[in-house]
């Protein structure tokens, strides 16, 4: 038995574990529109499947065109009243939402794990992080409420810069982090004075209901926040709806291109946080023990289903096999199993379509000559524990001897696969490492590992990416996060992320005397 599966004999039957859960939402039949839950008009259902067991355990209704019209009309009706409040008044609501989310932390986490298979130790942090995002944006109310007056460079006049809400926003979320990737849109939109219609990803529509519960419990006025569920065509309709003023989307680059095209045609503002193929540059002086301590979080977080993680490791030739050994051993040591088990590091792939995609990439790597030093194959879920026989499990995989022209080196996999490339460090330069890191159509995240942090910072500045970490990677609510090139348009987080939900007007006036 592999180290990753060690100890699974004692695991509780996954079906028994799930039967004991007391989750308030499973099969639901309503939407949140105009401040209350409304039963869906159509009987069409979208299933919710637990990827660890293959069991369909929930379902949600699919919104009709008429229900989309109702939600947008509700948001439009609420816009003047909500936007007419001061930012400080809106911030007070955000702070109450944060408190209400934290009350729901455990049941939110359990529901999230059942939807997409993220380990419970990962989803347990979702509520605290979401609350932190609301509190951070609430702290920007003073900036939004302050006067912004700018003098003409030649003198004699000044400009009053007015910051208005952009309007009714359509928020479209992905399935990998269904809570926080909505909240990072919802919090700044609300503080800015916008109203919203939210469409969660089809595989993960239930955990987000706890955020809506928190919004309702916080007393947010009717119509400010609306939630609809449905398949991809609902998202398409939301993007093109004439009552929508802005779209914010997180998801794949191909879908993002279509949304960008539609918004360009409509001259509609859009924020896109898309795919990534980020690299971790290992400098010759890197502390590999320290790197090992952050490796899973930085390079295979959420079973590899994280947009910014550095799934390509670029190692110096002088230490290549040492890096390969460390990465292979560290990933192999992470336990794979039931994501509801507290000791699980790697869960299943979130759904069967993604499972098939990841397996295709693994097969291509074998065919192109990459060397699997960990994993490299699917897993019989039954070997991980009773009740997991039908789970979508893939062994966490590390490939060495990867070259820049291999598919796994160039394309986003979005699964538990790390590629290790080699660069020539014989001349003491990191030029080839930087060139390899920048040899991609994406530009979202990245890492530089090195003991000399001054040198590591110099290298990080040369990486063509929206965010780069030195010896660790973490998202800072106060700093902008966004992609370059095929990784997106615009940014989230920070005061810059708030600005994405504002429309600016300059009022010019003469200065008396």
Candidates 100, 307, 412, 492; catalytic one? 307
Among candidate residues 125, 66, 107, 354, the one with its CA nearest the CA of residue 210: 107
Between CA 419 and CA 408 the distance in angstroms is 7
- 115 and 108 in contact (C-beta within 8 Å)? no
Show the DSSP H helices in 395-446 as ranges.
407-410, 431-437
Say how far residue 23 (Cα) sits from the centre of its chain: 24
| Dihedral angle, C-alpha 248, 26, 122, 460, nearest 10 ° | -20
Q: How many CB atoms lie within 10 A of CB 218?
A: 19
Among candidate residues 474, 462, 469, 466, the one with its CA nearest the CA of residue 490: 466
Among candidate residues 86, 189, 84, the one with its CA nearest the CA of residue 147: 86
Distances, alpha carbon 301 to alpha carbons 122, 224, 297, 346, 377, in Å: 9, 34, 5, 9, 19
DSSP string, 479-498: S-B---GGGEES-BSHHHHH
Tell me whether residue 389 is exposed, middle or buried, using C-beta atoms within 10 angstroms of its C-beta: 0 to 12, 13 to 18, 19 or more.
middle
263 a catalytic residue: no
273 a catalytic residue: yes
Containing H/E element for 415?
none
DSSP string, 83-148: HTS-HHHHHHHHHHHHHHHHHTHHHHHHHHHHHH---HHHHTTHHHHHHHHHHHHHTTHHHHHS--
- 477 and 133 in contact (C-beta within 8 Å)? yes
Tell me how long the chain is: 513
- 81 and 90 in contact (C-beta within 8 Å)? no
Candidates 100, 115, 122, 273; catalytic one? 273
Catalytic residue numbers read: 273, 307
């Amino acid at each position: 038995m592999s180290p990753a599966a060690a100890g699974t004999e004692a695991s509780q039957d996954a079906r028994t574990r799930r039967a004991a859960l007391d989750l308030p939402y499973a099969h639901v039949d309503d939407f949140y529109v105009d401040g209350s839950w409304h039963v869906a008009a159509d009987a069409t259902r979208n299933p919710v499947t637990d990827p660890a067991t293959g069991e369909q355990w929930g379902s949600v209704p699919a919104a009709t065109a008429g229900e989309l019209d109702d939600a947008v009309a509700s948001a439009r009706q609420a816009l003047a009243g909500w936007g007419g409040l001061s930012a400080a008044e809106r911030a007070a609501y955000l702070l109450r939402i944060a408190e209400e989310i934290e009350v729901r932390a455990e049941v939110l986490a359990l529901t999230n794990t059942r939807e997409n298979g993220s380990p419970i130790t990962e989803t347990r942090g979702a509520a605290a992080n979401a609350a932190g995002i609301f509190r951070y944006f609430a702290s920007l109310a003073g900036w939004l409420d302050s006067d912004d007056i700018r003098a003409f460079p030649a003198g004699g006049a000044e400009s009053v810069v007015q910051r208005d809400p952009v309007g009714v926003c359509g928020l479209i979320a992905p399935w990998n982090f269904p809570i926080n990737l909505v909240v990072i849109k919802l919090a700044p939109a609300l503080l800015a004075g916008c109203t919203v219609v939210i469409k969660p990803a089809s595989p993960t529509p239930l955990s987000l209901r706890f955020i809506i519960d928190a919004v309702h419990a916080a007393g947010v006025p009717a119509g400010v926040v609306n939630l609809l569920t449905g398949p991809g065509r609902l998202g398409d309709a939301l993007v093109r709806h004439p009552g929508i003023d802005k779209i914010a989307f997180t998801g794949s680059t191909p879908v993002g291109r279509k949304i960008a095209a539609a918004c360009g045609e409509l001259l509609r503002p859009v924020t896109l946080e898309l795919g990534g193929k980020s690299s971790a540059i290992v400098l010759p002086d890197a502390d590999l023990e320290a790197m090992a301590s952050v490796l899973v979080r930085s390079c295979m977080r959420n079973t590899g289903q994280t947009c910014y993680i550095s799934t390509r490791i670029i190692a110096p030739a002088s230490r290549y096999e040492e890096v390969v050994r460390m990465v292979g051993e560290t990933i192999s040591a992470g336990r794979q199993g039931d994501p509801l088990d507290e000791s699980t590091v790697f869960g299943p792939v979130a759904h069967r379509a993604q499972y098939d995609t990841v397996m295709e990439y693994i097969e291509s790597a074998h065919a192109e000559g990459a060397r699997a030093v960990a994993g490299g194959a699917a897993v019989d879920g039954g070997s991980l524990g009773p009740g997991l026989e039908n789970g979508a499990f893939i062994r966490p995989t590390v490939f060495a001897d990867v070259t820049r022209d291999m598919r796994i080196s160039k394309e986003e996999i979005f699964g538990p696969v790390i590629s290790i490339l080699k660069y020539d460090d014989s001349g003491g330069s990191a030029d080839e490492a930087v060139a390899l890191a920048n040899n991609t159509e994406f530009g979202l995240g990245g890492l530089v590992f090195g003991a000399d942090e001054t040198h590591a910072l110099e290298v990080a500045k040369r990486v063509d990416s929206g965010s780069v970490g030195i010896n660790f990677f973490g998202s800072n609510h106060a700093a902008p996060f966004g992609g370059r090139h095929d990784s997106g348009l615009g940014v989230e987080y920070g005061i810059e992320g708030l600005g994405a939900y504002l429309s600016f007007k300059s009022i010019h006036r003469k200065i008396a005397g």
